[in-house]
Amino acid sequence: MSRALIEYVAPWLLDHPEDLEINEVDGDDALILELTVHPEDMGKIIGKRGRIIHALRSLARAGSGRGERPILVEVSD
């Protein structure tokens, strides 16, 4: 569910949405969604003072159910 939210919202924030890649990585106690974007879009996905990435992380947390593993969103270069 959370991956679908990120897949829906993130392209609207980017100039190059076709370069968006979302990889799922199994962490020890959480599922990690790694976002890879075009280099020019790095500032847009992070936002001023990290507000955009913080909002995406909040969406991912809200989209996961209570019984599910926590979901973390990271941006990789």
The domain segmentation of the chain, as residue ranges, is 2-76
Residue 57's SS3 state is helix
**CA atoms of 68 and 10, how far apart (whole Å):** 22
**Quick one: pLDDT at residue 55?**
94
Q: Evaluate whether the domain defined by 2-76 bears CATH number 3.50.30.30.
A: no
Q: What is the pLDDT of residue 56?
A: 93
Rounded to a whole number, what is the distance in angstroms from the first to the last CA of the chain?
A: 25
pLDDT number for residue 1: 64
pLDDT along the chain (77 residues), means of 10: 86 94 91 94 94 93 80 89
Helix and strand numbers, DSSP H then E, in the chain: 3, 3
- Is residue 74 a contact partner of residue 33, using CB atoms and an 8 Å limit? yes
